[in-house]
Structure 1
Amino acid sequence: MKRLFCFAIILVLFVSILSISQAQGESGYDELLNVFNKTNSNFESYSINGHVELSNKFLEFEEMKSIINKLNIIYGINSSDLEYVQTEQEGFRQVYTHTGNGQGENVSVIVQSQLSENVEETHIIVDIRSNEVYKSIVNNYKKMKDVLSEYSSLVDIYTCISGSFDGKIEDEQYDIIASDIFSKLSANESERAEDENFISLTGYTKKIKEHITYAGKKVNLNVSVRYSDYEDKTYIYIGTPLIALEY
């Protein structure tokens, strides 16, 4: 439980320092899928992480479970299949569930309520991961966005899809692969980091309809290519607005 609580707090702190710009229309996530398919890499996994904050709310456990049930139901999980993990301390309540939906996707939901010095707030954190299927990523994003928007107009969602090639690619291919993904998405590069077995590009594309402001710049695309000596694989990660996971 300590690890889950730390993850939730880290995510909340991370998104709190970024300003989100919401745009109308389609998300553009289908563009990410199209570009990923063109890399011809082997699919490894995808993740969608969502968060909203409810100000001036310190919820009872039944209210928290109702939110968790609603989020699980949209991903094909019945409330009767859920095992609720409850934690309660002075001024703090948390309910957590983690369940597979039978479609190769694991759904985790955390609802935290805090009360301190007359300040009440509740955080809803949703995490969807799969290493079996990925074409549902666009629909799953929309479901998450629609439900979380019922609780707050400010919804933070981070998505990442990863693939791999067997073995180590040539050194010059790291930049070529990452830059080609940026080119196909008509993205402008704003920042890069690289070493012998790793490259990461961050930037902005109009093809994705939402962005964050990071270091004074619009950002909604993060691409990384790295080699794992332990697994003897070269991994590709495509994330929006940033890659919000360890890799």
Structure 2
Amino acid sequence: MGKKGLLLCQFIVLMFVLSSTAFTSQARTFAPIADLEFLIDTFNKQDGHLIEWSLYTREMVQLPTEKSVEEKMMALRNEYPKMEWVLSQDHQTVQLTGTLQHQHFLETVILNTIREDHTRHTYLIYQVSGNSWDEETANQLASRLNQSITKMYGKNTLIFSCIKGEFNDDSSQELPYYANKYLANLHAIEIESLKEFDFYSISAYTDELSEKLSTKNGEMNIQLALRKNGWDRKTSVVIGTPIITIEY
């Protein structure tokens, strides 16, 4: 191989490395992915078993007539032709749901219309969820999420990150021990809480996360829910930012 050919090969390899690095960097710096990874890393420090993670966003869209709703449904079907679409309705609601199973996560799009008296409220919902997490998942998700959010909303929107898991109980420890340990690992300060014998719900603030909400007691950007399950000696954990959006 001549000198020019060798230089060309070196240039191609260099560009491949740089593009791969940039893509990985995108996954790490794209705020929702970084937030979700922080929650998962915190959970892993407790040696917990991850059951589910999710990213969720919802915005109201202006579709005042039945025709405009039908047109939006058709547009979504055209924008996501690979999704499996299901239409459900009753006297008050009409909902179109599309799902697509990717290699590492499930992608869901929902258009939900609620009729009340003579008014109509329509929400466009986007969610991705999965049951395991690694670097490949983070990279593929960052690309897909950024593309879909831009396509659906055309602007930055509030994205909620949540994880759900469990860990085996140490019978010598109670919920205050676990709650304090989680808050310490999250570098979070408790803002408000509901504390019962077998259930804790804590709202807190940490500088580690990108989103935040204002409350009467100050800014918050994380919720932590802990529940002891005495029958199977496990403790269920749900962590969300800026709030929890899944059932707990």
TM-score strictly above 0.5: yes
**C-alpha distance in 1, partners of 2:184/2:89?**
47
SS in 2 for 1:237: strand
Residues 19-66 of structure 1, C-alpha deviations (whole Å, 9 max, x = no match): xxxxx9734413222212211111112222210122366534243243
**C-alpha distance in 1, partners of 2:156/2:217?**
19
**Aligned AA for 2:132?**
V
**Aligned AA for 1:63?**
K
1:138: Cα distance to partner? 8.1
- 1:34-73 to 2 correspondences below 5 Å: 34-55=41-62, 58=65, 59-67=68-76, 70=79
1:111: Cα distance to partner? 0.7
Residues 57 and 126, structure 2, Cα contact 8 Å, conserved in 1: yes
- 1:95-114 to 2 correspondences below 5 Å: 95-97=96-98, 99=99, 101-103=101-103, 105-113=105-113
1:236: Cα distance to partner? 1.9
SS in 2 for 1:31: helix
**Aligned AA for 2:198?**
N
Aligned to 1:133: 132
Residues 192 and 200, structure 1, Cα contact 8 Å, conserved in 2: yes
**Identity, % of aligned positions:** 20
**C-alpha distance in 2, partners of 1:161/1:64?**
30
Residues 71-94 of structure 1, C-alpha deviations (whole Å, 9 max, x = no match): xx5xxxxx245133154869x753
The two structures, once aligned, show a CA RMSD in angstroms of 3.5
SS in 1 for 2:192: strand
Count of equivalent residues: 213
Aligned to 1:163: 165
SS in 2 for 1:84: strand
Residues 50 and 144, structure 1, Cα contact 8 Å, conserved in 2: no
Aligned to 1:21: none
SS in 1 for 2:183: helix
Residues 182-215 of structure 1, C-alpha deviations (whole Å, 9 max, x = no match): 2223211101222222222211111101111233
**C-alpha distance in 1, partners of 2:199/2:86?**
40
SS in 2 for 1:244: coil
Greater C-alpha radius of gyration: 2
**C-alpha distance in 2, partners of 1:25/1:110?**
23
**C-alpha distance in 1, partners of 2:140/2:179?**
26
User: Unmatched 5+ residue regions in structure 1?
Assistant: 1-23, 74-78
**C-alpha distance in 1, partners of 2:233/2:247?**
18
SS in 2 for 1:44: strand
Does 1:205 find its partner at 2:210?
no
**C-alpha distance in 1, partners of 2:213/2:124?**
20
Residues 30 and 142, structure 2, Cα contact 8 Å, conserved in 1: no
- 1:211-230 to 2 correspondences below 5 Å: 211-230=212-231
SS in 2 for 1:39: coil
The 3 A distance-change label for structure 1 pair 88 and 235 is: closer
Q: TM-score, normalised by structure 2?
A: 0.68
Q: Pick 1 or 2: higher relative contact order, CA cutoff 8 A, min separation 6.
A: 1
Residues 112 and 123, structure 1, Cα contact 8 Å, conserved in 2: yes
Residues 55 and 127, structure 2, Cα contact 8 Å, conserved in 1: yes
**C-alpha distance in 2, partners of 1:223/1:139?**
27
Of Structure 1 and Structure 2, which has the larger fraction of its residues in helix?
2
The 3 A distance-change label for structure 1 pair 133 and 80 is: same
Residues 160-179 of structure 1, C-alpha deviations (whole Å, 9 max, x = no match): 2122123x333644223222
